[in-house]
Each structure stands twice: as C-alpha cells, then as structure tokens.
Amino acid sequence: MFDVLIRNGRIVDGSGLPWFAGDVGIIGDRIAAVGNLAAAHAEVTIDANHQIVAPGLIDAHVHGDLALLVDPLHEAAIRQGVTTYIIGQDGVAMTPGSADTQEYMRRYTAGFSGGHVITDRTWYDTATYLEAFTNRCALNVAVLIPNGNVRMEVMGLDPRDSTPQERQAMRAIIQENLEQGAVGISSGLDYIPSRYATTAELVEICKELAPVDGVYVSHMRGYSPETVIPAMEEMATIFRESGCAVHISHFNCLADVVLPWLDHARQNVDITFDLYCYLFGSTILGMIALPPDVQQGGVEPTLERLSDPAVRASLRAWFENPRVPLEPIRLSAVAHPRFVRYEGWTLADAAKDAKMELGEFICEVAVATRLAAGTVVPHDRRRTENDLRQLMNHPAMMGGSDGIFVGGCPHPRGTGCFARYLGYHVRDRKHWSLEQAVSHLSYHAARRHGLRQRGLIRAGMAADVIVFDPESIADRSTFEQGKTLAVGMSDVLVNGKLVLHQGMRTPALPGRGLRRGD
C-alpha cells in the first residue's frame, strides 16, 4: 500500500537515459517503487495520463534567502516544478553571522533579497538557518557559506588583505558550518565585502571543502570577453591549490570565448557552471552603477558620501566612463515613494523625466532608497541565443535562475527560467531533448552540491517528484510583467507531500533545510 501512486507516466528519471512508461509509488518521504505497479493501491492515486513524471528540479543559484520566509507557498518555484533552492549565493547572504553581520547583509542586499525583517524566527549559523525553513515552506533549501559573511565576522568591512591568523579564524567558522550541513562556500567578487578577498585568502578557506566534498561557488571577478579568462584562471588556481571542486555562477558569457578554455581546463580541473536562459541580468544598483570605493565601510558611510556635494562632483568621471553602459539599465525595484514610479524605466529615461543628469539621478535614488534599489542589466551586446544554446549543451552546465523576487518589475527569470527551459528551449526550439533538460535541471545540481538523495526517480530516493504536460509547460513572465507565474505543471510533490495537485496549490509546507548528503 502506497501513500501516493502516480500511474501512466512517461518517466524521465533524471539520468539522461530515454524516457520509459511506468508508475511511481511513494511511501512517506521516499520513492518506494518504480515500474509497472498496476496491481498496487494507494491512499492517493494520480493518473499522469502519459504526462512527464520527473524528479523535482533544483535551482542551483537563486536569491530566495528571505523570499521563502515571507512567501512560504512560493508558487514562483512550484509552478515551474522547482522543489529545491541552493541559497547563500554571491558571498553576501543571511547566514552565518552575528546580528550586526546579518543586519548589514539584509540592508546591503535589499535590492535583490528584499531586505525583509523576519520577526518570528532567528538564526545565527547554518544549523539554525536550515531549521527556519523546515516544515515552514513549500520547497527545500540547501545552503552555501558566503565568504563575505565569514570575512565580516572576522575583519568587519576592512578592505585590506587578511592575516594568517584571520584566515585561520575564517576556516574555523567555515568548518563549523560545514559540519552543520552547508554544501559549500560562495563568493561574490563584485560585492562588498566578498570582493576584498584575495586569491590566496580564497584558497585558504576553500581548503576546508576538499575533505567533505564541498564545492566553491563563485560570482567571478569578471565575465566580459576582456576579463573572463583571468577570472576562470583564478577558479582553476583555487581548485589546484585547495583541492575542492569549483563552480561558476551565472555563466553569462560569449560561448566562443569561454568554451575552448573550459574544455581544456576540464581535462584536469573539476569545474562546472550554472546558467539562466536570458540575455539580461539583474543586480543591485550600487554594485552595477557605483564605484566600490564609495561604498567602503557599509551602508551608512556610503549614504554619507553620496549626500556630500564634493563626492558627487568627484563621481562625474566615473559616470562618464562606468564599468558598463548605464543608460539602458532598467530599475526593477525602488524602495521609495518618490522614485517607485520609475520601476520598469531605463535609467536614461527616468533621469530625463526627473530632469537630472544621469549620475545625479543614480545618487538620488541610492540615497532615497538607502541602497535598496534593484536593476535589470543588458548583457554584452555580442551575446545571442546561440551563446545560450552552446552553453546549455555543455556537459558541465546546470540550471540556475538567479531569481530575484523584489520590486514591481523584477527580472522574469525568477518565475520563468525553468519553465522556459522546458517549454521554449525543449519543445519549441529543440535545443535539448526532455531527457537532457531534466538531467541538467535536476540531477546535475544535486550531484554538484552533494544532495545524494535527490535528482533521480529511483527507489529509495527522496520523493521530490513533478508531473507536467510537455506540450503546455511555458513561462508567462516578461520584462514588463516579471511576476507572472508559469503554466503547465500538474502535480508537484516535495518530500512525498503534494504542494500542487491537478494544477491547484495545496496548503502543505513540507520543505526542509537540507544538509550535505540529503
């Protein structure tokens, strides 16, 4: 007797092998049997009616750290079949850390984390953070240790290089959190204070990962054709000198530039990457539009500098020659009543409407929102869908939405990325087979992050299972309407419990904080 029995499915099991007809029986939180179960009975029977039955998808890079706590039903993920988030990304996130570190991270990352104040639970390390999600949200989370948090615990926001003693203190924090179940370390080498870490510091802290098969995940120092090869060389150095596997976040690059290097490196370097299927990115306004030195010392010193007319005058040279073209960047989230109407506008159009110079407008928005502003940013103009196709088909690729759930005009990737892979890229464009898609979007991420009980439809594996119609699965979110939910997902089970049934959301919150090995 099964608790749940899914009959008449086309099972795409996550291995990459061809689909097969069969049934899936679930007892408790485990897949108990797979095959011809025609004689079996169950408390709940789902007739898949020849739809696809697959393992729950795993989002390898997403900013759900606070979003899941304030929106525990989280249909943005469930409607796409995503049953696990990997959070703690970009070296600046919500744990570990003292109250001061957490407050800085909440405010600094507000443009992509939402800056939500959580009052009904507290945490300070991986163990307590994972517990904050268990049976309190609809999907699972696994956690990376952000290097910026660890650095701030030891050194505050000091931009100098760390001493040997400070690196040992960082390693102690990392070791403790790995023992509590963290799956690796993240860095965000454009974000403060993560960006202050030298290669030598990163090598030293990553030495804690190799003995436990953890992974180093990095928003690298550069992604442009001019900067990406040195950034990848740094990743290879970290692998060689620390012994841990390395993984590139949101690998939004020109395929012809990076793939020859990657293929050569992978002869000796255990390196993988995640990718979202759009030609625009999204980040906080401060990171993309302001120089790092004006942001030293935290949010309050940054606001003081930006309010100083002399500092603003000194920034004119920066705004005349910024790191990326600023004019086409769109505001996605603006946490201030004076400027909120500019959500969805380009910086150029908004500045013109506000009757300000572009740099002055950026400073005004940054100060008014206290840095809680988000943006949507065009990638290198040379990137095309062909680059996406080539990167998608690389064996080291896995899906990562980089989803941000903040503001009135968020990037559509948070509600659409995985559905877009399954619909547009599989059904419409034939860039992948379904078997390839499910493997890249589930098993690859499970294997990379040490989630050994997920990513496959096999007896004994965790019962994270999805049922969907391959002819109707589709993203519906756009850059104008970034919150629109995906369609085509019929049933979603997380740890054996239905969170979506016959296309209808259930009230179940069976998600768990996953530990390495789960």
Place of tokens 């802290």: 205
Phi, psi of 306 (to 5 degrees): -70, -20
Percent of the chain's residues with pLDDT above 90: 99
pLDDT at 304: 95
Tell me how far CA of residue 68 lies from CA of 403, 419, 420, 463, in angstroms.
Answer: 12, 19, 22, 21
Burial of 108 (0-12, 13-18, 19+ CB in 10 A): buried
Tokens (6 digits) for 206: 């990553």
Q: Is the pLDDT of residue 73 over 90?
A: yes
Write the class of the CATH domain 55-279+380-450.
Answer: alpha beta
| Strand stretches in 90-240, DSSP E | 140-146, 184-188, 215-219
> Who contacts 261 (Cβ-Cβ below 8 Å, separation ≥6)?
229, 232
β-pairing verdict for 82-87 and 52-55:
unpaired
pLDDT at 411: 98
SS (H, E, C) 288-352: HHCCHHHHCCCHHHHHHHHCCHHHHHHCHHHHHCCCCCCCCCEEEEECCCCCHHHCCCEHHHHHH
Upstream peptide bond of 378 is cis (omega within 30 degrees of 0):
no
Tokens (6 digits) for 35: 């095959």
Upstream peptide bond of 395 is cis (omega within 30 degrees of 0):
no
DSSP 427: I
Average pLDDT over residues 234-248: 98
Percent of the chain's residues with pLDDT above 70: 100
Q: How confident is the model at residue 495 (pLDDT cuts 50, 70, 90)?
A: very high
Question: Quick check: 399 and 247 in contact, CB under 8 A?
Answer: no
> Who contacts 138 (Cβ-Cβ below 8 Å, separation ≥6)?
72, 73, 74, 77, 78, 494, 499, 508, 509, 510, 511
C-beta neighbour count of 294 within 10 angstroms: 20
Determine the Cα–Cα distance for residues 149 and 372; give it in Å rounded to an integer: 19
The predicted-structure confidence for 98-153, as pLDDT tens digits, reads as follows 999 999 999 999 999 999 999 999 999 999 999 999 999 999 999 999 999 999 99
Place of tokens 């952000």: 146
pLDDT at 323: 87
Tokens (6 digits) for 386: 């062909």
DSSP 485: P
Average pLDDT over residues 227-236: 98
Average predicted confidence (pLDDT) for the chain: 97
For 443, half-sphere exposure in the C-beta direction (CA atoms, 13 angstrom radius) is 17
Determine the Cα–Cα distance for residues 265 and 138; give it in Å rounded to an integer: 39
**Looking at the DSSP assignment, which residues form a beta bridge with residue 4?**
26, 44
Reduce the DSSP state of residue 284 to 3 states and report it: strand
pLDDT at 231: 98
Question: Quick check: 330 and 409 in contact, CB under 8 A?
Answer: yes
**Looking at the DSSP assignment, which residues form a beta bridge with residue 54?**
466
Reduce the DSSP state of residue 170 to 3 states and report it: helix
Reduce the DSSP state of residue 52 to 3 states and report it: strand
Reduce the DSSP state of residue 364 to 3 states and report it: helix
Determine the Cα–Cα distance for residues 124 and 179; give it in Å rounded to an integer: 15
Tokens (6 digits) for 365: 């928005």
Upstream peptide bond of 193 is cis (omega within 30 degrees of 0):
yes
pLDDT at 293: 92
> Who contacts 508 (Cβ-Cβ below 8 Å, separation ≥6)?
138, 494, 497, 498, 499
Place of tokens 């095959």: 35
Tokens (6 digits) for 88: 């703690």
Continuous segment of H or E residues that includes residue 54: strand 52-55
Q: Is the pLDDT of residue 216 over 90?
A: yes
**Looking at the DSSP assignment, which residues form a beta bridge with residue 145?**
185
Domain with CATH 3.20.20.140 in the chain: 55-279+380-450
